[in-house]
Structures are given as structure tokens and as C-alpha cells.
Chain A
């Protein structure tokens, strides 16, 4: 219970100290604001305003774009993110494999050899399924006009 034992004079002195400290902080803040004000120029203000203005316009376009909003919703699922990640990894591996393998010689024998690999068969199956579902979506797009 220290407060009860403190004399009124001590309390006032503490208040005064606190006030002085707060004033000092305020003055520091004011100096900062004034310094920022002095550092600015018409040109800087114009450029900031332009960036903000274009930013607001961009944000408006993006948020009112229904297609983009639907795309973002789809991308928001872990499944889509995983697939995109997988696609990107596959593309990177593919480009590396192509760069180190000798140029294809051509001819039916090469095609047959490639078609016998399980990976190729899996890939063809994926592509044919992708074609099936994608064509459904394309029919839907032109039926509804994209709504």
C-alpha cells in the first residue's frame, strides 16, 4: 500500500514528471510529422496519389471480376493447390528430362517403345480424362455465355 504512505507533494512531482515525459513524446511525434511534411514535395505527393489511385482502380476491377473471384475460390482448396503444385513440379522435371535426353529419332518403333512404358500409359489416361472433363466445361461455357 505504498500510495497511502506517499505524501501529496511526492504525488504531484510524479504527475509532473509523467506530464513532462508525455509532452516530450508528443513533441518528438510532432517533429517527426513536421520532418515528413518538409521532406515531401509536390512530385512525391503526386506519385503517391497516383499509385494509390491506380491501386484502388485495380482492386475495384479485381473484386468485381466474377470469373476471377470463382477462380480464387477454387484455388482456395488444398486439393487445387496441391494439383497446381504437382503440375508445376511435373513441368520442371519434364523440362529437365527433355534437356538431357538425346533428340528423338522418329519412326514407329520409337512410338511403340514409348507407349509400352507404364508412365506414358498413365499420362495418356490422365490427358484423356482431362479432355473429357474440360470439354464438358467448355460446352457449359458456351451454353451459358460464361455466367
Chain B
């Protein structure tokens, strides 16, 4: 049995390690082989980028060697997939190699496409890559006051990020003693200030309290860089001195190239996590077209379900679990308080009041992540 995992991010790594633990005997007896293909030999802790953007973490803290995170029995190649041949159960890679499989797991993740919005690349700061996060921090350091606008592209990874970056901006300028010189305006694509109703209910009075202005039903259409104006699909405009953007995302281009899913998102069964029309192909994390948050947490819980099912299929011939849509999101409410939202397909998120202990739990998780991707926590 050849299991091929494409993608060495959060979901792919947890899945491969979890499977390697469950199938240790089968791998030792050479009945099962796990191979992982990834685009990089480094693994990045992506939630750390928000801290880099505020000078709270250094970029080198975000990385580990991918090989150091994998169970030794997993065959690992830095060789991204160039083409999926799903009807022939094989993939071809960048280096020209062919990998055949019996079970395929696609966990290639998503990428930012700020270029889809005219002016967004040149006109805005963001924190969705290492270079961008460092650049954003330097820009914040130099900022002495004026109008800060936050805009949000759709779809985007980490749905809580728009709210978190707003609270962080408030705290950052307050600590620097220039909050009274900064006007913060938050823009959100739908009719309330966050898609999760309870988050919206909590954040709205908080924004009022800390003096953050907000505009809803604002889908960013273009940025007039010269005049420093951001315009919406809905016909409104906001002037800015500093524009912070959550850029729109797409799945990986290979998915679109091979016509496996519009926007690079693969049509996936919301319970079984198999690709529509392909029972031996599983899809994880951001790569799915599922109506669940694009976050490492969703990828984590999905990976556990897929690992358990692949292992049980090998051991007893049938899957044993369905994915229930579980997502657990930390919500940083500034630099010293946090809360969390947990939900699944059946239960909406219920929000607790933010406190310092939850902030420390998040701080701890930033370090415990490496234990988590090894399949331990």
C-alpha cells in the first residue's frame, strides 16, 4: 500500500506523522509506505506572522526543518507536484519523477493573490508572508500618526485575523503613546463586523470602546495608490495614510491547471473528506472547497480523521469516523488578552470574555505547535 501525501504544511505533516504512528508495524513489515512531497525543506508556523508584523516574534522563530518534524519512516522529498494524473493513480513532479500511489492525500494549502485587486500590492501592507510581515512592522515603527484602514479580501485564510490585527494595531499605537494621533477604520465584506455572529456581537462594542470606526459590506475593488484611496465593489471609498490588507487567497495553481477545482479549491465531501469522484483521494485543510474556516486548526482536526480512516481501511477494510466540522480558533484581543471560538457543523461558536490566561495559552501554543505537528498533541 503506497500512501502519497502532497504538501508538507500543517495538515499534511500531522496526517503523515499520525499515520506513521498508527501503521508502525505495517511500515516495518513493508506492507505500507508513506511518501511526502513538499515545495520546501522548511516548515513555517504561519500564525506567527501576525506577531512578526508587530515585532513580537523574530522570523527565524517561525521555521523548523521539515525533516526534523517527520517520523523517520516517512520518505520525504522536496519536489512539488507538477501534474496530478488521478485516473492513473500517479503524480509527476517538478524534477520529472513519477510517484504512483494507492491512496493520495492532497494538502497543498492556499496562496495569497493580492494582484487580483488593482493597487493592493503596491498600496497596502500585509503580514501573510515573512517578507511582508517584516516590511509591515518597519512601516508601523515609522508611522507617526494619520489614517489607518484595514481591508479584507475574500476568501482569506484565518478568518479571525482581521479582528486580531485591528486590536493589535490599537494596542501597538497605544503603547507607543500615539494612539490619539491615529484614526483606525476597519472594513469588512459582509453586513456585520465579523462572519461569526458571536464574534461580531463581542467585537462591535469593543471597537466602539477603543475608538475603531467600521464599515461593513465593503469588498475591496481597487486601491488608488497615488491618491491613497481604497474603493469598494459596493461603491464606497476610504482615504488612508496606511492601508493594511488581508489579501484574497486562492488554492495552488497546479489544482486549477489540472482542472481539479475552481479557484484552486478541490470539491470535497464534508464528512468523508474524499475528493468528489475519487474515493482514494483525500483532501485536507485550505485545499478543500468546504465551507469551513481556512485555518491550521481545521487542517489539524481533518488530518486526524483522515489518518484514522486510512489506517482503519488498511487494518479492517473500512473507515471509522466522519469529520464533524470542528474548528478551534484562538482570538487575540490585543497584546495581553485572548479568547477562543470552537464550533462544528452542528454547534455555533460560543464566545467567552477574553482574559490573560487564554493569551498565555496562545503564547504557549505558539511553541507547542511543533509538538502538535509531530502528531503528539
Contact = CB atoms under 8 A, between A and B. Distances in A.
B370 A57 contact: yes
A37 B374 CA distance: 30
Contact of B374 (A45, A50, A60, A147): A60
Contacts of B360: 40, 42, 45
9 contacts: A42-B359, A46-B364, A49-B363, A49-B365, A50-B367, A52-B368, A54-B371, A57-B370, A57-B374
A147 B368 contact: no
A56 B369 CA distance: 12
Contacts of B365: 49
A53 B363 contact: no
Contact of A57 (B56, B356, B363, B371): B371
Contacts of A50: 367
Contact of A42 (B28, B363, B374): B363
A147 B28 contact: yes
Contacts of A52: 368
Nearest to A59: B376
A60 B71 CA distance: 11
Contacts, number: 38
Contacts of A37: 356
B28 A46 contact: no
Interface in A13-72: 37, 40, 42, 45-46, 48-50, 52-54, 56-57, 60
Contacts of A60: 374, 376
B368 A49 contact: yes
A53 B363 CA distance: 12
Interface string B21-54: 0000000100000000000000000000000000
B160 to A, nearest CB: 19
Contact of B364 (A49, A57, A147): A49
A56 B375 CA distance: 12
A140 B359 CA distance: 54
Contacts of A42: 56, 359-360, 363
Contact of B367 (A40, A46, A147): A46
A53 to B, nearest CB: 4
Given A53-B371, A54-B371, A56-B376, 7 more contacts: A37-B356, A40-B360, A45-B360, A46-B363, A53-B367, A57-B374, A60-B374
Contacts of B376: 56-57, 60
B372 to A, nearest CB: 9
Nearest to B365: A49
B297 interface: no
B366 interface: yes
Contacts of B366: 46, 49
A24 to B, nearest CB: 25
Nearest to B360: A45
Interface in B333-377: 356, 359-360, 363-368, 370-371, 374, 376-377
Contacts of B363: 42, 45-46, 49
B171 to A, nearest CB: 13
A71 to B, nearest CB: 18
A60 B365 CA distance: 18
Contacts of A46: 363-364, 366-367
Contacts of A48: 364
A57 B377 CA distance: 10
A67 to B, nearest CB: 13
